[in-house]
Amino acid sequence: MAQTINMDAVPGGDPKKKALPSDSRYGWLKALWRNRKSRVGVIIFLVFVFIGILAPLIARYSPTSTNFGLLQPPSARHWFGTTGLGQDVWAQFVWGTRSSLIVGFGASVLSTILAVAIGMYPAYRGGRLDQTMATLTNIFMVIPGLPLMIVAAAYVHETNAFSMMLIIGLTGWAGRARVLRSQTLSMANREFVWAARLTGASNGRVLVREILPNMTSLFFASLMYGVLGAILAEAGLEFLGLGNLTGASWGSMLYWANNGGAVLNGAWWWLLPGGLAIAVFGMSLALINFGLDEVTNPRLRVVATMKPGRRRYGKLAGKGGSFDEA
């Protein structure tokens, strides 16, 4: 994935560097910080993580306490105002951050593990196992996810954070399994993998030592998309009243805002935080992935363009490499 990409653009670049991707296997981490977009993403992401971790210190009130005035607009006492039930919206947002992130990451870790087990491992082994798993993946790709989760959640009567993670994690792996599969297939045919095989390394060793390290950035992307998908799914389930609605989460804030008449009462402060938190957090993940994409796909990269002064006719991106392959 993360070869020394800059050499691609230079004809006659040192061929040895292409064959040894280990030089910069983790170079993408540095590149994430170098890329302006993904740096913004990383910062926003960390802010949310800190809000989640520090929830007990910064929430000021209990998210479930109903001791405050109803539908009060934002003030010094209630930064984000109060709900129709007299709860503090800031406290709900802060605690909701914690619980949404936990469910998001928990479900994403689970579904990423499934995606690896179903998409990647069989692809590496090949044969009938791979065929079966590929078909299974394709089926789960086309069966709509949210309805499936809704039905599953409706049968589990007492939903809590853990069952939520299970339901979302078990149903939301297919798309990423497919991406991992195709990447593994192309990776398994790279020269350095063949080289490792020819030196007599065992299958398992090749997978763990040669292929996995080169897919770290893809894992990372997969995990990130999983988190966003899981948070959106949780919010969706909670909007139907499935899930633990007594606790605070971004999704349950939206549920109560809808059912408590935030729209009718003009209580925008009640309506905004939950959805905005999801969208901004999702944006941070997408920005990080965006940077990751540009790192791993040289053609999407911002190529260094020449100083103006001389007319150029070239308008195509990063085309140097393939043009000079003799």
Partner 1 sequence: MRRDEVPILSVDHATVAYATREGMAKAVDDVTLSIFPGSIVGLVGESGSGKSTLAAALMCLLPSNASLLSGHVLLNGKDLYQMSEQHLRRIRWAQMSMVFQSAMATLNPVLTVGQQFREIFRIHEPRMTREDQQRRMEELLGTVRIHTQHLRNYSHELSGGMRQRIALAMAIALDPELVIMDEPTTALDAVVQHEILEEIRRIQQIKRFAVLFISHDLRLVRYISSEILVMYAGKIVESAPIDVFTETTRHHPYTRGLLDSIPQLRDEQPALHSIPGSTPGLTDLPVGCAFHPRCPYVQPPCLEAPPPLEGMESQLVACYEVDNIEGRRAHA
Partner 2 sequence: MRYILERLGFLLVSAWAAITINFVLPRMMPGNPALIAASRYQGQVSPRALHALKLQFGVTNKPLVVQYGQYLINLLHGHLGTSLTYYPVPVITVIDNSLPWTLGLAGMATVIAAVLGTFLGIYSAWKHNRAADSVLTTGTTFTGAIPHQWLGLLLLFGLGYGLHWFPVAHSYSPSMTPTWSLPFIENVMYHAILPALTIVVPGMGAWLLHMRNNMIQTLGEDYMVFARAKGVSSRGQMLHHAARNALLPSVTNFAMAIAFVVGGVILVEIVFSYPGVGYQLFMAVSNEDYPLMQGLFLFVSLSVLVVNFLVDLLYGWLDPRARRAGEA
Nearest to partner 1 of 73, 314 (CB atom):
314
Nearest to partner 1 of 10, 263 (CB atom):
10
Shortest CB 285 distance to partner 2, Å: 7
Shortest CB 8 distance to partner 1, Å: 10
Give kind and range of the element (H or E) at residue 146: helix 145-155
Instruction: Return the DSSP state at 264.
Output: T
How far, in Å, are 23, 33, 102, 143, 247 from residue 280 at the CA level?
Answer: 34, 19, 17, 28, 22
How far, in Å, are 160, 244, 274 from residue 66 at the CA level?
Answer: 22, 17, 18
Is 189 a binder of partner 1 (CB under 8 A)?
Answer: no
- Decide if 97 contacts 55 (C-beta within 8 A): yes
Bridge partners of 88, per DSSP, are 82
Rounded Cα gap, residues 59 and 89, in angstroms: 10
Shortest CB 48 distance to partner 2, Å: 12
Is 84 a binder of partner 1 (CB under 8 A)?
Answer: no
Shortest CB 218 distance to partner 1, Å: 23
Radius of gyration of the chain from its Cα atoms, rounded to whole angstroms: 24
Nearest to partner 2 of 211, 262 (CB atom):
262
Q: Binding residue for partner 1 (CB under 8 A) from 1, 2, 11, 190?
A: 11
Length of the chain: 326
Residue with tokens 């009567």: 157
Stretch that binds partner 1, among 118-126, 231-239, 273-281, 298-306 (CB under 8 A): 298-306
Report the interface residues with partner 2, using CB under 8 A. 37, 41, 135, 138-139, 141-148, 150-152, 154-157, 175, 228, 232-233, 235-236, 239-242, 251, 254, 257-258, 262-264, 266, 268, 271, 274-276, 278-283, 285-287, 290, 293, 297, 299-300, 302-303, 305, 315-319, 322-323
Rounded Cα gap, residues 61 and 40, in angstroms: 30
Residue with tokens 């078990």: 170
- Under the rule (CB under 8 A), what is the footprint of partner 1? 6-7, 9-15, 303-306, 310-320, 323-326
